[in-house]
Amino acid sequence: MKIRGAVLEETGRPRPYAQSAPLTISELDLDSPGAGEVLIQIEAAGVCHSDLSVVDGNRVRPLPMLLGHEAAGRVREIGAGVEGITVGDRVVMAFLPRCGECKNCGTDGRLPCSVGSAANSAGTLLGGAQRLHRDGEDVMHHVGVSGFATYAVVNSKSVVVVDDDVPPEIAAVLGCAVLTGGGAVINTGRPQDGDTVIVVGLGGVGMAALITAVSLGKGPVIGVDAVPAKLETARALGATAAYSPQEALELGIRAAVVVEAAGNARAFETAVQLTDVGGTTVTVGLPSPDARSSIAPLGITAEARTIVGSYLGSAVPQRDIPAFAQLWREGKLPVEALISAHIALEDINAAMDQLADGQAIRQVIVFEPT
């Protein structure tokens, strides 16, 4: 079938992206779903820093590639052997499929699926399928999703069914920002009663971590970011306090759980400095592969502190996405507050500029029904 999607042609084009246009809106051919796969009509897709990191070259991926990994839509066709999914279901896409058989899949989300990770790096679906083509040549899949398009074929292990009461834009944001940020708090940081939680970096993932920590009600929640408007938003969403990195360090604030969601070396250093004796620094941001940080090892040892990485919020999507949807349903998780703008697919390059400038929390592409 013919679809429209945003294809990344090359990395490293100069900013502003609205002028250099690294992403082109193309007409592509999409194969029918094979065994174990489903065809999804995309309803909404969030624009995330992980998309930007492919555009600017910090995350090397094979090109050309149809980007987008935070998306939700309706199932329109089902391939052979798919169970538990029916035509018409609303589904959330998860950008790391879990094969359920490798050693890493036996760690309850702590380690990323090795088979899914290999497929993501190769630009294929789980199992190696290639379903996107343009002018007779293959176009790569972005982490098994390629959600910046009108339709997508994905492996059934990349989707989670949600109830119809979850609007598509909410469902989309559950699949990355909330799963990653919220999961970093619940699955990795695991704050206890009375614990203070600090979140460093208040983009989509960081703000999701913040509202998740607030929803737990364990103790004070503090936001840290260099953008004043984001500090105001954090306070409005229930943060006990919000500071710039310099203010937080000068005040000597420390927390039992500190989540770093900015994806840069300095933010990681700040997060480590803000971690209390016996506390845990959870790093969930994705910096450049060349980024390096400087920390004092003595402080880690003498204060019995822990530094731990959390990919996809150390989540099991089939378990965690419905749980976050229920928190939203109960009014405890204001996911809609993370959405800073609704945009059209044609606005994708300008949206990357907004993200790179730190002006957006979550821009969501809304697709018109056909």
Within a domain: 293: yes
| CATH number of the domain residue 199 falls in | 3.40.50.720
Structural domain includes residue 327? no
Same domain, 97 and 217: no
Percent above pLDDT 70 for the chain: 100
Count: domains in the chain: 2
pLDDT band at 369 (very low <50, low <70, confident <90, very high): confident
Q: What does the pLDDT look like over 34-80, one tens digit per residue?
A: 999 999 999 999 999 999 999 999 889 999 999 999 999 999 999 99
Helix (H, G, I), strand (E, B) or coil at 266: helix
Q: Does position 83 have pLDDT exceeding 90, yes or no?
A: yes
141 and 10 within one domain: yes
The set of residues, in sequence order, having a beta carbon less than 8 Å from that of 361 and lying 6+ positions away, is 202, 203, 204, 207, 230, 233, 338, 339, 340
| Residue 176 included in any domain | no
> Does residue 320 belong to any structural domain of this protein?
no
The stretch 342-361 carries a mean pLDDT of: 95
Global pTM reads 0.96
Count, residues in the chain? 370
Residues 218 and 128 in one domain: no
Both 189 and 241 in one domain: the answer is yes
CA–chain centroid gap for 370, Å, is 27
Work out the average pLDDT over 79-105. Answer: 96
pLDDT digits (tens, 9 = 90+) for 116-126: 999 999 999 99
Domain assignment present for 329: no
Does one domain contain both 346 and 221?
Answer: no
Regarding whether 157 and 21 lie in a shared domain, the answer is yes
Residue 35 included in any domain: yes
CATH code of the domain in which 112 resides: 3.90.180.10
Same domain flag for 188 and 156: no
Q: Do 146 and 96 share a structural domain?
A: yes
| Domain region containing 232 | 181-311
Range 272-301 average pLDDT: 95
pLDDT at 370 over 70: no
Other C-beta atoms lying within 10 Å of the C-beta of residue 134:
16
Using the structure block, give the residue that is written with the tokens 């998309």.
51
361 and 264 assigned to the same domain: no
Clarify whether residues 253 and 189 are in a common domain.
yes
Rounded distance between C-alpha atoms, residue 199 and residue 274, angstroms: 10
Average confidence (pLDDT) over 16-28:
97
216 and 352 in a single domain? The answer is: no
Position 359 confidence tier, pLDDT thresholds 50, 70, 90: confident
Kindly state whether residues 275 and 186 are assigned to the same domain: yes
Closest CA relative to residue 281, chosen from 261, 253, 298:
261
**Is residue 216 a part of any domain in this protein?**
yes
pLDDT digits 0-9 by tens, 231-246: 999 999 999 999 999 9
| Mean predicted confidence (pLDDT) in 302-308 | 97
Q: Is residue 120 part of a domain?
A: yes
